[in-house]
Amino acid sequence: MINNVNHFLEQERTDPHKAEPDSRIKNFNEIYGHFKQHEAESQAARCLDCGNPYCKWQCPVANHIPEWLKLVKSGNIFEAAELSNLTNSLPEICGRVCPQDRLCEGACTLNDDFGAVTIGSIEKYITDEAYSRGWRPSLNINKEMTDYKVAIIGAGPAGLGCADILIRNGIKPVVFDKYPEIGGLLTYGIPPFKLEKSIVRRRRAIMQEMGVDFKLKTEIGKDILFEQLVNDYDAVFLGMGTYKMIDGDLEGADLDGVHQALPYLISNVNRELKGDNDFIDMKNKRVIVLGGGDTAMDCTRTAIRQGAKSVTCVYRKDEASMPGSKKEVANAKEEGIEFMWNLQPLKISRNNNELIISTASTDLKADAIIIAFGFAANPPKWLSDYGVDLDSKSRVIVKDKLEDFAFQTSKENIFAGGDMVRGADLVVTAVFEGREAGKSICKYLKNLIKS
C-alpha cells in the first residue's frame, strides 16, 4: 500500500494502454486496455483526499470517489466495488462512456497542474476486476421482499437505475423493452470501440442475479396495453429515452445518401451483434458528418472503421464550443478524422452521384452525409392518451427532485426519468434520475401501506 503523501509528485497521471490508431481503426474493439492491479493502486494513490471532494460534487450520482480510490490503493477491491455500485447502477459503463474531463476529472484538484486522477479508468477497473474475482453485489437488505411489484418501461440507463434501487429495497422490478438486449442506446447507439456489448450483457446478468426480471422483445402499446400494465402493477416507471432525430429542417436531409446518425449506428451495431448484412456501409466513400457532440464522434469513428475513403466532421461553431467529450474529439483526430469549424450547413443538394453541402462561405462535396444534430423526445401516443402531462417539447412533466415524490408524473402511480424528462443528456444523469425516481416509488408505496 502506498502511503507517500507526495506520491502525486512522483507518479504522473497515466491512462491504461490505448491501441495505436493504425491498428484500432481496423476493428471495433474497445481502444483502451485495463489497468493491472499495481497500476490501479498507484494511480489511485495520487488522490489527495482533499477535504472538499470536488470530484464527488461534480458527479451527477455523487459517487464516493475519494473513498473508493482509497480502497483501491489498499487493495480492497471487493469493498471498493460494493461502494462504487452503491451509488452508481452502471459504474463500469460510466467509467467507459462518461465525459470525465467535464465532470469528476475536470473538477479534480490536481487537474490544472499535475493531471487529474484517472477516475474514470479506475471506476471501470473496480467492477471489471472485482467481477472477474467472483464478486457480486450485496443487496444490503435486512428485510424480506415485499409483495409490491413495479413495471419499468425501458431497459436503458434510467430504467436500470430505477430497477437497482427497487430491488435493493425489497420491491420487485419487471423491466419491459422492445429490443432483444437491455441497455437502450448503450447497446444500440454507442459503438463497441467505446463500450463492448459483453459489458452490458454482464450487467444484465448481475441484475438478474439480484432479482430483476427482464421482459424483452415486448413493446408496450402493441404486445401489452399500457392500461393493463398500470392495472397489474403497483407503480410504473417510464424510462424510454429520446430516439427522435433532429435534422434542423435542413433542406435536402431526405436525399439518397443522407443518413440520420441513430439508424446508421444501430445498423452497424446489429452487424457486429448479429452479423447482419443489411447495414449502412461507408466503405470507400467520402463521408461528411454534421454535428459536434459525442454522437457525431461515434459516427465519424464508425465510418473510418468501415473503410471510408475520408471522413470530415463539420461543426457550426468553433472547437471550444463542441458539446462532446474532448477525449473523443482527440481520439477522432488520431484516427484521421478531419474537422471543419464555424461552418453552418444551409442546404444539401445532389449533382449526379455527388452530394453537396452549401454553407455561407463554401460548398462541400461528399458521397455520403450523416446528420448528428442530436435527439428529441418522442413519447408514444398512448402516454398522452392516458393523461400523462407533457411539456411543449413533448417531454414528460415530473415533480422536481427536491419535492416529495420527485419524478412523479401527473398520474400519482406513474413516475419517469432520464432523457424523456430532461431531453437528451448523459448516461450518468439518466442513471441518477432513474435511481431518484426509484427512491420516490419506494416512498410512495410505503405511504400506501398507511392509507
Q: Give Cα separations from 339 to 59, 289, 299, 445 (angstroms).
A: 30, 10, 13, 52
Tell me what pLDDT residue 324 has: 84
Compute the distance between CA of residue 2 and CA of residue 45 in angstroms, rounded to an integer: 6
Compute the distance between CA of residue 11 and CA of residue 33 in angstroms, rounded to an integer: 19
**Within a 10 A sphere around the Cβ of 82, how many other Cβ atoms?**
19
Compute the distance between CA of residue 221 and CA of residue 116 in angstroms, rounded to an integer: 47
Tell me what pLDDT residue 449 has: 63
**Within a 10 A sphere around the Cβ of 133, how many other Cβ atoms?**
10
Helix, strand, coil content of the chain in percent (nearest 5)? 40, 15, 45
Residue identified by cell 490536481 is: 110
Secondary structure class of 368 (helix, strand, coil):
strand
Beta pairing partners, 369: 258, 288
Beta pairing partners, 301: none
CA angle at residue 102 from 303 to 371, to 5 degrees? 30
Tell me what pLDDT residue 403 has: 85
Compute the distance between CA of residue 352 and CA of residue 57 in angstroms, rounded to an integer: 55
Do the domains spanning 149-242+377-450 and 245-374 agree at the CATH topology level? yes
CATH architecture, domain defined by 7-18+29-132:
Orthogonal Bundle (1.10)
CATH (residue range 245-374): 3.50.50.60
Tell me what pLDDT residue 247 has: 83
Beta strands 354-358 and 363-366 are antiparallel
Secondary structure class of 391 (helix, strand, coil):
coil
What's the half-sphere exposure (Cβ side, CA atoms, 13 Å) at 88?
28
> What is the residue type of 97?
V
Q: Are 377 and 422 in contact (CB under 8 A)?
A: no
Compute the distance between CA of residue 190 and CA of residue 307 in angstroms, rounded to an integer: 19
Tell me what pLDDT residue 451 has: 42
Q: Are 407 and 399 in contact (CB under 8 A)?
A: yes
Per-residue pLDDT for the chain (451 aa), expressed as one digit of tens each? 777 766 767 889 999 999 999 999 999 999 999 999 999 999 999 999 888 899 999 999 999 999 999 999 999 999 999 999 999 999 999 999 999 999 999 999 999 989 999 999 999 999 999 999 999 988 765 457 899 999 999 999 999 999 999 999 999 999 999 999 999 999 999 999 999 999 999 999 999 999 999 999 999 999 999 999 999 999 999 999 998 888 888 999 999 999 999 999 999 998 888 777 789 999 999 999 999 999 999 999 999 999 999 999 999 999 999 988 899 999 999 999 999 999 999 999 999 889 999 999 999 999 999 999 988 888 999 999 999 999 999 999 999 988 889 999 999 999 999 999 999 999 999 999 999 999 999 999 998 765 4
Tell me what pLDDT residue 248 has: 84
* Nearest alpha carbon to residue 117 among 19, 15, 1: 15
Domain ranges within the chain, ordered by starting residue: 7-18+29-132, 149-242+377-450, 245-374
Q: Give Cα separations from 129 to 38, 122, 144, 228 (angstroms).
A: 12, 10, 30, 42
Q: Is domain 149-242+377-450 in CATH 3.40.630.10, yes or no?
A: no
Compute the distance between CA of residue 409 and CA of residue 387 in angstroms, rounded to an integer: 10
